[in-house]
């Protein structure tokens, strides 16, 4: 078995990471783009490398960020990105070596990432905590009777004028939306990185701004024998009022020279409810933010609970063994206390599934129905599942 040295990267070593990432993601041609985009985060992140002698064979970037959780609190977490292993060192323990310091006992209680392959990170205890839905629908689609929309309140702004405005609008949104992430300047630069190479034949970002929301989108023109058949790709839509939501959507749907609009929203996005026939919007579901509870006892009290519950949960966790064992969970008045116990367990579950339920979107009852949770006391799963559920599905629309 190989022995790897894992340590923080020096500024000089950071310059080699984009090449490693490009190679691992089969995108060698994009090395310069990766370097330029990732560079916005260097000052606010810690990058670790795995080495065999002098050769770097693995890398991971960790940034501390905040996420809004059920109950309205902001929880700080370790955000992982730019995870890469050299192609000729795959399946030789490099990623495991990198994850050891990332998921150390003295790290933040919650870790999160977006996974290229969920199965990889499930082995380390990450569960799918949010999902996104890709909507594809024809432009000019009508709204159902009774929907009020005022597209005249929407204005197109150039990027330099739009960015200060949308940052303020996003902060209002992120104070209330479960799953929304905090953003500093580096995150904004990364999320809105825009070059010819990244556009794939589309326009630069355009910004449609309402007093209470905004939509950032690209257009992809296409001309056929039957006329214009362009596509509008919505990068991000934020609305702080129902009026802003309907007005922005009316504006987007009425864009000229486009036949189709594509948008990736939350699992319960209200877009389809605006339509007379919900089948007008074709929908595909994809995984989103993955959550890992590095410290179960510390993480569970950080969020709110919508119902009282009193259960003993046995947690299985081979990678962070301090989480393993039985925990007495008591939620009252929206808050939870957690204590180690020797009492018999009411249910047993893997830490991966506890992380999946942490944001209130994935139901423990659904995981139990799949045979992933063992219930020892009738009603225990339903009780904890109900307590952990959010009022609406969490929405994390920012890939990092």
Annotated binding site: 83-85, 91-96, 116-117
124 is catalytic: no
Sheet of 5-8: strand order equals 5-8, 46-52, 55-68, 74-85, 110-114, 289-293, 127-128
Q: Which two tokens stand for residue 339?
A: 């204590």
Q: What angle do CA 337, 340, 345 make, to 5 degrees?
A: 95
User: HEC states along the chain?
Assistant: CCCCEEEECCHHHHCCHHHHHHHHCCCHHHHHHHHHHHHHHHHHCEEEEEEECCEEEEEEEEEEEEEECCCCCEEEEEEEEEEEECHHHCCCCHHHHHHHHHCCCCCCCEEEEECCCHHHHHCCCCEECCEEEEEEEECCCCCCCCCCCCHHHCEEECHHHHHHHHHHHHHHHHCCCCCCECCCHHHHHHHCCCCHHHHCCCCCCEEEEECCEEEEEEEECCEECCEECEEEEEEEEEECCHHHHHHHHHHHHCCCCEEEEEEEEECCCHHHHHCCCHHHCEEEEEECEEEEECCHHHHHHHCCCCCCEEEEEEEECCCCHHHCEEEEEEEECCEEEEEECCCCCCEEEEHHHHHHCCCCCCCHHHHHHCCCCEECCCCHHHHHHHHHCCCCCCCCCCCC
Q: The tokens of 223 are what? A: 């001309």
The catalytic position among 121, 214, 245, 251 is 121
Cβ distance 70 to 305 under 8 Å? yes
Concerning whether 121 is annotated as a catalytic residue, the answer is: yes
For residue 239, what are the contacts with CB-CB under 8 A and spacing of at least 6? 173, 210, 212, 213, 245, 248
Name the residues annotated as catalytic.
Answer: 121, 400
């Amino acid at each position: 078995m190989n022995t790897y040295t894992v340590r923080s990267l020096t500024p000089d070593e950071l310059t080699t990471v984009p090449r490693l990432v490009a190679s691992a993601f089969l995108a060698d041609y994009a090395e310069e783009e990766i370097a330029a985009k990732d560079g916005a985060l260097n000052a606010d992140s810690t990058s670790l490398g795995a080495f065999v002698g002098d050769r770097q064979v693995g890398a991971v970037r960790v940034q501390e960020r905040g996420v809004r959780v059920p109950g309205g609190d902001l929880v700080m977490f370790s955000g992982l990105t730019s995870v890469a292993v050299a192609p000729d060192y795959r399946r030789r323990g490099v990623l495991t070596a990198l994850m050891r310091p990332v998921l150390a006992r003295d790290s933040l209680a919650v870790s999160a990432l977006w996974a290229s392959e969920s199965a990889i990170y499930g082995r380390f205890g990450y569960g799918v905590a949010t999902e996104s839905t890709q909507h594809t629908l024809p432009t000019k689609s009508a709204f159902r009777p009774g929907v009020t929309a005022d597209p005249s309140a929407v204005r197109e702004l150039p990027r330099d004028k739009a960015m200060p405005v949308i940052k303020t609008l996003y902060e209002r949104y992120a104070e209330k939306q479960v799953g929304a992430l905090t953003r500093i300047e580096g995150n904004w630069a990364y999320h809105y990185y825009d070059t010819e190479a990244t556009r794939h034949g589309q326009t630069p970002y355009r910004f449609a701004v309402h007093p209470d929301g905004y939509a950032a989108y690209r257009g992809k023109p296409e001309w056929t024998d039957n006329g214009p058949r362009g596509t509008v790709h919505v990068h991000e839509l934020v609305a702080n009022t129902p009026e802003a939501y309907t007005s922005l959507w009316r504006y987007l749907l009425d864009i000229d020279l486009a036949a189709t609009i594509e948008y990736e929203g939350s699992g319960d996005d209200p877009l389809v409810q605006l339509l007379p026939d919900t089948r007008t919007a074709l929908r595909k579901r994809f995984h989103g933010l993955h959550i890992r509870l590095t410290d179960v006892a510390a993480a569970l009290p950080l969020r709110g609970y919508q119902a009282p519950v009193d259960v003993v949960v046995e947690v299985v966790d081979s990678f962070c063994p301090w989480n393993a064992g039985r925990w007495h969970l008591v939620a009252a008045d929206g808050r939870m206390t957690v204590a180690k116990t020797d009492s018999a367990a009411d249910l047993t579950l893997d830490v991966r599934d506890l992380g999946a339920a942490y944001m209130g979107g994935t139901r423990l009852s659904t995981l139990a129905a799949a045979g992933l949770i063992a219930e020892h006391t009738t009603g225990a799963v339903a009780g904890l599942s109900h307590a952990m559920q959010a009022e609406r599905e969490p929405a994390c629309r920012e890939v990092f």
